[in-house]
């Protein structure tokens, strides 16, 4: 069964990613342009297969993440093997990016990077005979991680990886049962889940470097807010080149409305969550900046509630 309509209901089943055969594609011209014109200039981005050392460290972390979730009684699925390096495709590290689950809808994201559009195949064993939807608008573009689910309200970040055509297609597909709220005044980079992270209904963690009082999405204005500033985020190390910014420390994952899986270095975040009665379990994803994914990115909740 597949059903997940928000970011906080009690987690029953989840996909946790793998770093096996991770690769930064050479032939995907959109990806190449993005990385060539990236904001980071201190080191050169390295295309091609990710080093065995990074993959090994990442997998140790992901296995630990999986074990923590299993100890909580959660069923953990892992992606099937795929030789991304040989195919010059991407990776299975961030299953969040390429499949969007809204209720019982399973939507394969029309990602900006064509090298990522087959990653859903490695999770086909999870939804088995359930129907997948492939957007039929050739102009629609979005990663699933551009979208934050608040039950019937979906926040849709318009950015480098999500356009307005994608928002329109999503609203048309989901119909009147859901409300898609395009957001284009917060962060033009990539995904939403290091900018806005709901903790439970009525409580949200906000990235104070990107959100101010005057541009909070209307849907969240009445919610309690935990603000995290840049100097409150612990430094995230990386290997040679940071594919994610230091804000990846805000990319945490709710196991249920009272329990967060977080980077253990984020002591300020943990303390602020605790003031609202939220417990935290620290799991260190050592390659979160190098490979571009924290706990929310590296997981895909398939059954909540």
In percent, the amount of the chain with pLDDT more than 90 equals: 93
35: left (phi over 0), alpha (psi -120 to 50) or beta: alpha
E-only strand ranges, 138-263: 147-150, 153-157, 179-183, 196-200, 203-207, 224-228, 253-256, 259-262
What's the pLDDT tens digit per position in 249-260? 999 999 999 999
What's the pLDDT tens digit per position in 77-101? 999 999 999 999 999 999 999 999 9
Closest CA to 4 of 255, 282, 277, 273: 255
Number of H helices, E strands in the chain: 7, 16
What's the pLDDT tens digit per position in 180-214? 999 998 887 889 999 999 999 999 999 999 999 98
Q: What's this model's pTM, rounded to 2 decimal places?
A: 0.96
Whole-number Å distance between alpha carbons of 213 and 110: 32
222 class by beta-carbon count within 10 Å (0-12 exposed, 13-18 middle, 19+ buried): exposed
Give the pLDDT of residue 189.
Answer: 80
Residue range 148-175: average pLDDT? 97
Give the pLDDT of residue 195.
Answer: 96
What's the pLDDT tens digit per position in 262-289? 999 999 999 999 999 999 999 999 999 9
Q: Please, what is the average pLDDT of the chain?
A: 96
Task: Specify whether the CB–CB gap between 188 and 165 falls below 8 A.
Answer: no
**Residues recognised as catalytic:** 143, 191, 297
Residue range 130-149: average pLDDT? 97
Give the pLDDT of residue 38.
Answer: 72
What's the pLDDT tens digit per position in 99-121? 999 999 999 999 999 999 999 99
Residue 39 predicted with pLDDT over 80: no
Range of lowest pLDDT (134-138, 173-177, 209-213, 275-279): 209-213
- Binning pLDDT at 50, 70 and 90, where does residue 40 land? confident
Give the pLDDT of residue 201.
Answer: 97
Whole-number Å distance between alpha carbons of 294 and 291: 9
Whole-number Å distance between alpha carbons of 108 and 208: 31
Q: How do beta strands 11-16 and 299-304 pair?
A: antiparallel
Q: How do beta strands 224-228 and 203-207 pair?
A: parallel
- Binning pLDDT at 50, 70 and 90, where does residue 142 land? very high
What's the pLDDT tens digit per position in 286-304? 999 999 999 999 999 999 9
Closest CA to 117 of 104, 102, 107, 129: 107
Q: What residue ranges define each of the domains in the chain, with the CATH number in brackets?
A: 11-304 (3.75.10.10)
In percent, the amount of the chain with pLDDT more than 70 equals: 100
Token code pair at residue 277: 């009665």
């Amino acid at each position: 069964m597949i059903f997940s309509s928000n970011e906080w209901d009690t987690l029953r089943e989840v996909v946790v990613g793998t770093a096996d055969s991770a690769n930064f594609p050479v032939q995907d011209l959109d990806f190449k342009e993005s990385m060539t014109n990236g904001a980071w200039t201190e080191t050169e981005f390295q295309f091609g297969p990710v080093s065995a050392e990074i993959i090994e460290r990442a997998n140790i972390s992901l296995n630990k993440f999986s074990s923590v979730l299993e100890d909580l009684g959660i069923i953990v699925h892992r992606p099937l093997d795929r030789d991304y390096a040989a195919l010059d495709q991407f990776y299975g590290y961030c299953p969040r990016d390429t499949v969007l689950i809204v209720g019982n809808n399973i939507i394969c994201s029309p990602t900006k990077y064509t090298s990522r559009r087959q990653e859903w195949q490695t999770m086909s064993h999870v939804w088995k005979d359930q129907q997948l939807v492939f957007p039929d608008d050739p102009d629609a573009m979005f990663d699933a991680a551009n979208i934050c689910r608040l039950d019937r309200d979906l926040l849709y970040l318009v950015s480098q990886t999500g356009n307005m055509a994608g928002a329109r297609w999503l609203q048309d597909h989901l119909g009147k049962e859901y409300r898609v709220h395009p957001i284009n005044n917060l962060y033009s980079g990539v995904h939403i889940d290091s900018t806005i992270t709901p903790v439970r209904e009525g409580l949200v963690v906000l990235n104070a470097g990107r959100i101010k009082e005057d541009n909070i999405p209307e849907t969240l204005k009445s919610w309690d807010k935990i603000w995290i500033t840049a100097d409150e985020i612990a430094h995230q190390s990386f290997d040679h080149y940071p594919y994610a910014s230091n804000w990846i420390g805000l990319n945490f994952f709710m196991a249920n409305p009272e329990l967060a899986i977080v980077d253990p270095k984020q002591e300020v975040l943990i303390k602020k969550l605790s003031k609202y009665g939220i417990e935290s379990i620290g799991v260190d994803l050592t390659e979160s900046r190098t490979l571009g994914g924290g706990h929310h990115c590296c997981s895909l909740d398939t059954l909540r509630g």
